[in-house]
Amino acid sequence: MTYLESYQNWLEQENLPAYLRQELEAMDESQKEDAFYTNLEFGTAGMRGIIGAGTNRINIFVVRQATEGLARLIESKGEEFKARGVAIAYDSRHFSPEFAMESAAVLAQHGIKSYVFESLRPTPELSFAVRHLNAFAGIMITASHNPAPFNGYKVYGEDGGQMPPADADALTNFIREIADPFSIQVADAEAAQANNLIEIIGEAVDAEYLKEVQSVTINPDLIEEYGKDMKIVYTPLHGTGEMLARRALAQAGFDSVQLVENQLTADPDFSTVKSPNPESQAAFALAEELGREVDADVLIATDPDADRLGVEVLQADGSYKNLSGNQIGAIIAKYILEAHKSAGTLPSNAALAKSIVSTDLVTKIAESYGATMFNVLTGFKFIAEKIQEFEDTGSHTYLFGFEESFGYLIKPFVRDKDAIQAVLIVAEIAAYFRSRGLTLADGIEEIYKEYGYYAEKTLSVTLSGVDGAAKIKAIMGKFRDQAPASFNQSPVILTEDFQELTATDAQGQVTALTTPPSDVLKYTLEDGSWIAVRPSGTEPKIKFYLAVVGDSNQEAEAKIAGIEAEINAFVE
């Protein structure tokens, strides 16, 4: 079916809501093509797209189709799994409550129970709820840190992690079998609640989650002495973090948390920021204003679904420094390992996990404490799989996992990134450095002096539409077939192709990679630097990850600049 035929098919549907029909009728040719040239696909973490009419948009019919696929997957497993049901949560975005209830209504039509949160909740609490309720799966309606026009749909497996590849592939196949999303039947939501097929949940699950969060604190005496009156500024950036972060900080003993009042309200337009992304310093503008007013030690922001955390730290000149995701990961890892070592509680089989595109600095830190670092593909579900493997085999004790994209998990009662946990540990680390008369900025410098000056940068290029998808494919092909032999005058000594599962050294010797296949290329250089290239699994982007190490910050930054210039020239 061409995009115009698909467009016309939508326009002719009698059950099309008025707002979608009006949008269709207002489309020009380029908008029609972009909305209908393809179907919104599942990536590393579900699907994510612009809200609106069309097969390449997210709307009630695309949500119904995805949920119908999930219902068929559950039915294929038997009655026990239907009874266990699905936990459903949503964030503060446009249509999030509607998409959540549409999902529950589709499941109810199949006799599958769902547990739907009464109002918006963080993604990590959804992960927790799947495990706590012994549900078979979870659905999280969120577009994470994307701008206001987006929403998304993430599916979780019974371990609370994003659905693993085998089930995710089966789910995708069930979804693709549905030729007509307009024919999907949905139950009456009120009747389903009366029949207990839809159960509304809330505070009881919150309380159980917060009880588990208490275990994140390593040194309560430190917080009692140095954390109670420490000025912390927190903003949820109009998202779900407000539901739990403040309560978690209060129960841990942080009594002087200052809140960015204008950003506490759940606002689907994110009206005080250009983008609700805690990776960006621009998102901290109001937090910085408040920080200067109250002389705050640390500023903390969570994204709309509270799975990612951003941090800014006070510097000697009174300004605030925006930490990278890798720097946050390094300072958390160092603190956890040192605190356990000092307390005599560091396991002999301690393990950390990170994505293959995250900094090697944390690997070096882990090894200095005798801990093992496990490198996994991008996508927190692969860290969740490692946690489950450790629990099943008893081979290692999980202490910390992270991705450079500002995702962290300390305690595995959740199996996805958890910014609520990360808020707590960062606050405790700030109290630790305060006890030494230092700041988090000093802590980062201490790490660099001990382990080397590591620097990383992610280049993210958005290429939307039909042409964009073709360009991304062409760029990956060019790197795969014609990659430079060196970057910044340092020869490539190892090329890893995670799609072909090969690792080729400078002499042409090939060994096999043991990860699942993924469209990622990684080049390791003679000087210890590396470059990785991958298309995003949930957005029309191609990403370049640059990582270097030098004897000084200036040397490291110069290496980054040199590699960035060469990549830009190669791509263009």
Return d(Cα 250, Cα 381) in angstroms, integer: 30
Q: Which of 157, 165, 164, 118 is nearest to 139 (CA)?
A: 157
Domains of the chain (ranges; CATH) run 38-209 (3.40.120.10), 223-451 (3.40.120.10), 453-571 (3.30.310.50)
E-only strand ranges, 270-368? 298-302, 309-314, 320-322, 350-355
Distances (CA, A) of 468 to 1, 2, 46, 353, 572: 21, 18, 20, 33, 14
pLDDT in tens, the chain (572 residues): 899 999 999 999 999 999 999 999 999 999 999 999 988 887 656 899 999 999 999 999 999 999 999 999 999 999 999 999 999 999 999 999 999 999 999 999 999 999 999 999 999 999 999 999 999 999 999 999 899 999 999 999 999 998 877 888 899 899 989 989 999 999 999 999 999 999 999 999 999 999 999 999 999 999 999 998 899 999 999 999 999 999 999 999 999 999 999 999 999 999 999 999 999 999 999 999 999 999 998 999 999 999 999 999 999 898 999 999 999 999 999 999 999 999 999 999 999 999 999 999 999 999 999 999 999 998 899 999 999 999 999 999 999 999 999 999 999 999 999 999 999 999 999 999 999 999 999 999 999 999 999 999 999 888 877 788 889 999 999 999 999 999 999 999 999 999 999 999 999 999 999 988 999 999 999 999 999 999 986 678 899 999 999 999 999 999 999 999 999 999 88
Rg of the chain taking only CA atoms, in angstroms: 24
Active site members: 144
Return d(Cα 11, Cα 34) in angstroms, integer: 16
CB 548 within 8 A of CB 523: no
Return d(Cα 150, Cα 146) in angstroms, integer: 6
Q: Which of 435, 458, 212 is nearest to 358 (CA)?
A: 458
CA dihedral sign of residues 477, 29, 12, 21: positive
Single pTM value for the model: 0.93
* Residue 38: how many other CB atoms lie within 10 Å: 16
Return d(Cα 86, Cα 114) in angstroms, integer: 5
401, two tokens: 């996992």
CB 346 within 8 A of CB 325: no
Q: Quickly list H helices, 79-237.
A: 79-84, 96-109, 123-132, 165-176, 189-194, 203-213, 220-222
